[in-house]
Amino acid sequence: MTPMPPLPDTTNALTEPFWAGLREHRLLVQRCAHCEALRYPAAPICPTCLTRGGDWTAVAAEGDLYSFVVYHRALSPAFAEDVPYAIGVVEIQDRLQILSRIDAPPDSLSIGTRMRARYTDVSPEVTLLHWEPAARWKGARND
């Protein structure tokens, strides 16, 4: 039997607000209460000014494609049914880089392509943020 793709622990105290945000189809990242630097992924302390904690703030889930790859072979059996699939790094505001799956034909992609979030509910607890080109591509959903 093919193993299922691994799912994150959405109850982890550090990242729980991030996953809760995705469930509501919003992208939340931490903002340092002292120096206001945005950070992703989550961290218990601001690596810029070393202030503990941070406030979760919604950011626009769109940006430019910084780089991408296409998995033609599953390098973990959990993704055997997904190949070929693309993974990309998208730069959102403040040049935060968010890496995730791209839901689009790989040959439609190039560095610099404007991307937007596509929220993908995979279980009652887990919603993943995938990326897709902001401009309509052939085969795109009609919503």
Partner 1 sequence: MSVRSRAAIVAVGTTEQGELRGRGADEVSVEAIRLALDEAGLDKSEVDGLITCRSNMNTAGTDTSVGALLGLNPRYSATLDYGTCNFSLHLAVMAIMAGLAETIVLAYGATQRTSKVDFGVPLGVDLATASGYVHIAGPAGLALQRHKHLYGTTDEQFGHIAVAQRQWARLNPLAIFTKPLSMEDYLAKPYLVEPLRRDDVTMISDGGAALIVTSAERAADFPTTPVYVRGIGEAAALNGGRERDNLLRPWIANVARDVYASAGMGPQDIGALYIQDPTAVWVLQMLEYYGFCPVGEGGRFLAEGHTYPGGKLPLNTNGGQLSESYMWGWLHLCEAVRQLRGECGERQVPGLETAMYCSTMTFTKGAASIISTSK
| Residue among 53 and 142 whose Cβ is closer to partner 1 | 53
CB of 118 to partner 1, least distance (A): 12
Structure tokens at 12: 């982890």
Q: Which is nearer to partner 1, 33 or 75 (CB)?
A: 75
Residues near 62 by beta carbon (within 8 Å), at least 6 away in sequence: 90, 92, 114, 115, 116, 117, 134
- CA trace torsion 107, 113, 116, 119 (10° rounding): 30
Dist. CA 7–CA 3, nearest whole Å:
12
Give the residues lining the site for partner 1 (CB under 8 A): 5-9, 15, 39, 41, 47, 66-79, 82, 85, 87, 89, 91, 95, 97-101, 106, 111, 126, 128-130
- Shortest Å, Cβ 52 to partner 1: 17
- 106 versus 134: smaller Cβ distance to partner 1: 106
